[in-house]
Chains A and B, each alone.
Chain A
Amino acid sequence: MAGSQWELPPELCCRPMAFVALTGLDVVYNAVHRAIWDAFCANRRADRVPISFKVLPGDHEYPKCRTKRTSYEWYIPKGILKTGWMNKHLNLVPALVVLFYELDWDDPQWKEKQSECATKVEIVRTSLQGRNTKVAVVLIQKKTPLPPGEDLVASERAAALCNACDLSGKSLFVLPHTDHLVGYIIRLENAFYEHAQTYYYTEIRRVKSHKEFLNKTTHQLLFVRHQFKIAFFSELKQDTQNALKYYRTAYSLVHELRAHETNMLEIKTMAGFINYKICRLCFQHNTPLDAIAQFRKHIDLCKKKIGSAELAFEHTAWMSKQFQSFGELFDEAIKLGLTAIQTQNPGFYYQQAACYSQDRKLQAQQLCQAHRMSLPTPDPLETPTGGLDFYGQRPWRQGHQSIDPPDPEKEKAGILALQIKERDVPHSELIIALLSNAVAQFKKYKCPRMKSHLMVQMGEEYYHAKDYTKALKLLDYVMCDYRTERWWGLLTAILTTALRCAYLMANVKDYITYSMELLGRASTLREEQKSRIEKNLIKVLMNEVPDAEPECDPSSSTAAASLWNDRMALAGSNDFTIEVQDYVPFIQCKARFQSPSFHVDQPIQLQVFVRADCPHPVRFNKLAVSLSNQEYNQWCVVESSGQENMCLSPGATRCYNFSFVAKTEDVGKKIEMTGIEVMLGSETGRCVFLSWRGAGGDAASTHEALQAIRSLRHRGRGTEGRQELDWDSLTIQHSTMIISRVPKISVQLSHQPPALNNEMYCINFTVQSQEEAVARDVKLTAGLKPGQEANLSHTTYVTLNSSKVCDDSDPALLPDIPLGDLNPGEKRCVYVKCVSTGQRVFLFHVAYTIDTTVEGQQINCKCHKDETVNIETVVPFEVSVKFVSTKFEPLDRVAVDIPFLLMTDLLSSSPWPILLATSSLQLVTMTSKTAQLHSQLEQVVLQTGECASECFCLQCPPVANSSNTVATGQYLISWRSPDSPLVQTAVTLPHVILETVPLYIHAELPSFGRVRESLPVRYHIENRTALVQEVEMAVEPSDAFMFSGLKQPQGRQLDDASIAAA
Chain B
Amino acid sequence: MAVCIAVIAKENYPLYIRSVPTQNELKFHYTVHTSLDVVEEKISAVGKAMADQRELYLGLLYPTEDYKVYGYVTNSKVKFVIVVDSSNTSLRDNEIRSMFRKLHNSFTDVMCNPFYNPGDPIQSKAFDGIVSGMMVQPS
Residue of A nearest to B9 (CB): A486
Q: Does A1047 contact B (CB under 8 A)?
A: no
* Proximity string of chain A (733-766) to chain B, C-beta cutoff 8 Å, 1 when within and 0 when not: 0000000000000000000000000000000000
Residue of B nearest to A296 (CB): B63
Q: Does B49 contact A (CB under 8 A)?
A: no
- A453 and B33 contacting across the interface, CB-CB below 8 Å: yes
Stretch of B74-82, B102-110, B116-124, B126-134 on the interface side: B116-124
- B33 and A449 contacting across the interface, CB-CB below 8 Å: yes
Residue of A nearest to B119 (CB): A707
Q: Does A1003 contact B (CB under 8 A)?
A: no
Known: A343-B62, A487-B14, A490-B29. A447 touches B119 (CB 8 A): no
Residue of A nearest to B41 (CB): A342
Chain B residues, CB < 8 A from A710:
117-119
Cα–Cα, bound, A1022→B78 (Å): 112
Q: Does A489 contact B (CB under 8 A)?
A: yes
Chain A residues, CB < 8 A from B117:
707, 710-711, 714
> Would you give the shortest CB distance from B112 to chain A, in whole angstroms?
13
Cα–Cα, bound, A563→B119 (Å): 45
- B13 and A487 contacting across the interface, CB-CB below 8 Å: yes
> Would you give the shortest CB distance from A234 to chain B, in whole angstroms?
33
Q: Which of B29, B30, B117 has most chain A Cβ within 10 Å?
A: B30
Q: Does B26 contact A (CB under 8 A)?
A: yes
- A355 and B41 contacting across the interface, CB-CB below 8 Å: no
Q: Does A415 contact B (CB under 8 A)?
A: no
Q: Does A553 contact B (CB under 8 A)?
A: no
Q: Does A485 contact B (CB under 8 A)?
A: yes
- B120 and A342 contacting across the interface, CB-CB below 8 Å: no
Q: Does B34 contact A (CB under 8 A)?
A: yes
B37: contacting residue among A299, A352, A450, A703, CB under 8 A: A450
> Would you give the shortest CB distance from A118 to chain B, in whole angstroms?
65
Q: Which of B22-68 contact A (CB under 8 A)?
A: 25-26, 29-30, 33-34, 36-38, 41, 61-65
B119: contacting residue among A352, A449, A706, CB under 8 A: A706
- A352 and B65 contacting across the interface, CB-CB below 8 Å: yes
* Proximity string of chain A (282-310) to chain B, C-beta cutoff 8 Å, 1 when within and 0 when not: 00000000000000000100000000000
Q: Does B88 contact A (CB under 8 A)?
A: no
* Proximity string of chain A (695-708) to chain B, C-beta cutoff 8 Å, 1 when within and 0 when not: 00000000100110
Cα–Cα, bound, A449→B37 (Å): 6
- B120 and A449 contacting across the interface, CB-CB below 8 Å: no
Q: Which of B13, B26, B33, B119 has most chain A Cβ within 10 Å?
A: B33
Chain A residues, CB < 8 A from B29:
487, 489-490
Known: A449-B34, A707-B119. A485 touches B41 (CB 8 A): no
- A487 and B41 contacting across the interface, CB-CB below 8 Å: no
- A447 and B37 contacting across the interface, CB-CB below 8 Å: yes
- B120 and A707 contacting across the interface, CB-CB below 8 Å: yes
Chain B residues, CB < 8 A from A706:
119
Size of the B side of the interface (Cβ < 8 Å), in residues, is 26
* Proximity string of chain A (473-486) to chain B, C-beta cutoff 8 Å, 1 when within and 0 when not: 00000000000011
Q: Does A493 contact B (CB under 8 A)?
A: yes
Q: Does B114 contact A (CB under 8 A)?
A: yes
Residue of B nearest to A710 (CB): B117
> Would you give the shortest CB distance from A378 to chain B, in whole angstroms?
40
Residue of B nearest to A448 (CB): B37
Cα–Cα, bound, A487→B12 (Å): 9
Cα–Cα, bound, A355→B65 (Å): 10
- B114 and A485 contacting across the interface, CB-CB below 8 Å: no
Chain B residues, CB < 8 A from A703:
11
Cα–Cα, bound, A493→B38 (Å): 23
- A453 and B26 contacting across the interface, CB-CB below 8 Å: no
Cα–Cα, bound, A711→B13 (Å): 18
Q: Which of A334-365 contact B (CB under 8 A)?
A: 342-343, 348, 352, 355
Cα–Cα, bound, A229→B52 (Å): 59
10 closest cross-chain pairs (CB), A and B: A486-B13, A447-B37, A711-B117, A450-B34, A343-B62, A449-B34, A449-B37, A453-B30, A453-B34, A489-B29
**A residues near B, CB below 8 A?**
299, 342-343, 348, 352, 355, 446-450, 453, 456, 485-487, 489-490, 493, 703, 706-707, 710-711, 714
A450-B37, A710-B117, A714-B114 given; name 16 further pairs at CB < 8 Å.
A342-B38, A446-B37, A446-B41, A447-B37, A448-B37, A453-B33, A485-B11, A485-B33, A487-B13, A490-B29, A490-B33, A493-B26, A703-B11, A707-B117, A710-B118, A711-B117
- Chosen A-B contacts, 20 in total, with CB atoms closer than 8 Å, are A342-B37, A342-B38, A343-B61, A343-B63, A348-B64, A355-B65, A449-B33, A449-B34, A450-B34, A453-B33, A485-B13, A486-B11, A487-B13, A489-B14, A489-B17, A489-B26, A490-B33, A707-B119, A710-B119, A714-B114
